Structure 1
């Protein structure tokens, strides 16, 4: 009985951790690019449904612990980019384009090779710059709402010490308590049914450059590629083409209802593929399958949860979103700065992304990558065209 129940419990836990630790980031990102509370709730619902159905399909097809997720780094990028020309409808158009690009990546290997040609360090530096402002939210929140934010931070710190995997979910639970105490008689407003809200998409040049392209690159570099690597490290072969097809179709289907991107999971993938789940690697797919069904159930409760969260002061929600992204920021900084070579380009990419500057209606993420590539190209030519004293000394 234990061998049967352990994978199921592991899958349920993985879905709960994945949902509670980052849904606030998704809501923040969707609201930042123009979604109303109802449209943001629709986006969270359709993302839960799309990834749940995708997991169920892939696990049944391949008997592999493949687990999908929404793009948390992508949502963080939306939160820092903000509204673009065309508003929410243009953002939805950008989400559709991301779905097309993900789908084409699976069908056309050349596009995957082109994405892989972008230096990983620059992509990680762009991501680090994008999430930095959100990771500062707990500091600002503590200054603005000390009595509300302090218990959340203390709970997160203690959980990080004794139960690291549950640190952000525990912080989220404390956030719900804080919201409940502050909301009082307004709690009845949170009792709403889940609904999908259709948006007619449009597409503008700023939306393509500010949202679609950076969102696609961040999703590929920070989710799909690491997700495949995590499963590979446990001895599983990822059906890459079909995975990209499923996540691309899921993104396309969810875009008009407000979902920004569906992709392979990275962190929660390890929670369903490791040996603790089941001694037999061929039975661990059950954990991912259970996670898929759990996401479908979580989608049903996402609407009242979103309405409940909307009762909180912005600083309180920003705190739990910032805590959820600390791990992402740390990993991105390590990935960006591991190699000593090319740090000038990496630093420029990080600084431009962190600036949040909008030029010509195009957000900082695009300009950061462009600036980093330009600096890298110039310095690479300088290095290849000169035999500097440093080079001579090093060769000795």
Structure 2
């Protein structure tokens, strides 16, 4: 069956291309290595099971993934004052908002009504700092950094989908050759975190996480399905991914959502000539995610032994494509360009005010500029 190799590729690319971003993001908001491993495991298992169940039920290639832009948002956010418990509380609220967006149409329409230049500018601002990491890696660890970047650049000329996995393989080789590995923590161990809810975490993490997940993952994911001839009802899909987020959040998972890139692998012609059978690819991809989830402990132990800048370099390479697309979407149209640039600069500054991160203030500043421009007009 042609859908099987397509699903295997989608699962491998989906995990290998961005798990470093997830680990970086969870660590940035206060997760210990054990909690980060638990979060990675919970995300992988949740998105794998969600993709399997939705694809089997609807007989459609519904690919589910973690929120890579959301993980980048966490990586650019200062750890909450109350530690990882506050972040987990924000993850739960984000899951509730995703569920509500599927069940209550006005909320979904409100998110879709956010001007595209502002949504893209906020995302570009979130990604910008991480995208500088490969340069810092070359400066701080010249041999290792150059090896990772060159592997990415060379393989990208042959097959862009495999470029980041190739960088991961080189990073693994560098770490194995130079870093001592811990003897414990290799087996998956779910860590239950009691959530804490604060206004700063809700406005600085939960709300921006919800917006970037909807605008950068769920809506594009639907567009990919539609472009391939599949038009499922959006509400139940949003609600289902939100419910899986709520279930996985207490174990450290930040957000589960519809996939975009891997959705194209599972819904396109590469998954088979018969569109009615391409759901098999999404089911296989989901199974691959579950398997990777069971290996999350080993992955985390391995990468915890590496210099942080090398992990950040892999994450930055994975985010260059999304950053370029977001920046283009932010400034492409002359109308609203100034507001988008203000949103980008404020978000990229990383400045926190009243305990709330730059993403929220960037969206607020850009929105204010856009309203002012319309008032003047």
- Counterpart of 2:111 (choices 103, 109, 115) is 115
Counterpart position of 1:246: 240
TM norm structure 1: 0.94
Higher gyration radius (CA): 1
1:164-313 equivalences under 5 Å are 164-183=160-179, 186-187=180-181, 189=183, 192-313=186-307
How far did residue 32 of structure 1 move? 0.3
Counterpart position of 2:374: 380
1:72-221 equivalences under 5 Å are 72-183=68-179, 186-187=180-181, 189=183, 192-221=186-215
Residue 364 (structure 1) aligned with residue 358 (structure 2): yes
Counterpart position of 2:340: 346
- Counterpart of 2:12 (choices 16, 36, 50) is 16
Counterpart position of 1:64: 60
How far did residue 191 of structure 1 move? 6.1
SS at match of 1:235: coil
Q: Deviations over 1:94-113 (max 9, x none)?
A: 00000100011111001011
SS at match of 1:121: helix
Partners of 2:25 and 2:75 within 8 A in 1 = yes
Q: Deviations over 1:204-243 (max 9, x none)?
A: 1110111000000000000000000000000001232221
TM norm structure 2: 0.99
How far did residue 155 of structure 1 move? 0.6
Counterpart position of 1:36: 32
Partners of 1:190 and 1:308 within 8 A in 2 = no
The alignment of Structure 1 onto Structure 2 pairs a total of residues equal to: 377
Counterpart position of 1:52: 48
CA-atom RMSD, angstroms? Answer: 0.9
- Separation in 2, partners of 1:216, 1:88: 18
- Separation in 1, partners of 2:184, 2:304: 9
Q: Deviations over 1:285-309 (max 9, x none)?
A: 1000110111111111111011100
Counterpart position of 1:391: none
SS at match of 1:256: helix
How far did residue 335 of structure 1 move? 1.0
Q: Deviations over 1:163-221 (max 9, x none)?
A: 111000000010000110112xx335366110100000011111011100000000000
Moved over 6 A (4+): none
- Separation in 2, partners of 1:120, 1:289: 32
- Separation in 2, partners of 1:381, 1:234: 41
Partners of 1:190 and 1:305 within 8 A in 2 = no
List runs of 5+ in structure 2 lacking aligned partners: none
- Separation in 2, partners of 1:190, 1:199: 21
Partners of 1:251 and 1:261 within 8 A in 2 = yes
Partners of 1:55 and 1:68 within 8 A in 2 = yes
Q: Deviations over 1:57-116 (max 9, x none)?
A: 001101100000000000000100121232211100000000100011111001011111
- Separation in 1, partners of 2:353, 2:37: 30
Partners of 1:135 and 1:323 within 8 A in 2 = yes
- Separation in 1, partners of 2:270, 2:207: 38
Partners of 2:342 and 2:362 within 8 A in 1 = yes
Partners of 1:272 and 1:287 within 8 A in 2 = yes
